[in-house]
């Protein structure tokens, strides 16, 4: 990842947020965290994030509702859904709603870093493809 990579961690458990922040702290990226979906959407309204690590089960807005709102307003953001209650149905729903990846807790520091790196690489690739398609359309 490079200096410009902005990552948002959304999880209602402080120990999980701190774990992800610690794992990503040496990755040359800017990382912020919030404890719920409402705070996340408010923060995203102030500035966009490249990669979002999103807990599926949270009080208030659950992760699927947050994912849907993010992809509607900020489709270029890559979202990684993380859950302690993995199920094929919820994985399918997350991917259908636009999640880049779906991971089951517990995830270790290397998994967090690898998922964030993969999401950022995917975002860069998609932006490159979009630019090439736009250039081709102008010719």
Residue range 71-98, pLDDT digits in tens: 999 999 999 999 999 999 999 999 999 9
Please count the structural domains in the chain.
1
What is the rounded CA–CA span in Å between residue 119 and residue 39? 22
Residue span of the structural domain in which 37 resides = 6-138
Predicted confidence at residue 98, as pLDDT, reads: 95
Using 50, 70 and 90 to split pLDDT, how confident is the model at 1?
A: very low
Domain of 112, CATH number, reads: 3.40.50.2300
pLDDT at 26 over 90: no
Question: Does some domain include residue 1?
Answer: no
The 3-class secondary structure across 1-59, one letter per residue, is: CCCCCEEEEECCCHHHHHHHHHHHCCCCCEEEEECCHHHHHHHHHHCCCCEEEEECCCC
CA distance 127 to 137: 15
Question: What is the value of pTM for the model shown?
Answer: 0.87
Give the tens place of pLDDT for each residue, 39-50. 999 999 999 899
């Amino acid at each position: 990842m490079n200096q410009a990579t902005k990552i948002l961690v959304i999880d209602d458990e402080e120990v999980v947020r701190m774990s992800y922040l610690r794992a990503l702290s040496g990755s040359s990226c800017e990382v912020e965290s919030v404890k719920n979906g409402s705070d996340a959407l408010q923060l995203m309204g102030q500035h966009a994030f490249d990669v979002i690590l999103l807990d599926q089960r949270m009080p208030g807005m659950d992760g699927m509702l947050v994912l849907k709102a993010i992809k509607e307003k900020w489709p270029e953001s890559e979202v990684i859904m993380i859950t302690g209650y993995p199920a094929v149905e919820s994985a399918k729903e997350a991917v259908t709603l636009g999640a880049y990846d779906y991971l089951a807790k517990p995830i270790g520091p290397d998994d967090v870093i690898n998922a964030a790196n993969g999401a950022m690489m995917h975002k860069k690739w998609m932006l490159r493809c979009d630019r090439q398609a736009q250039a081709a359309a102008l010719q």
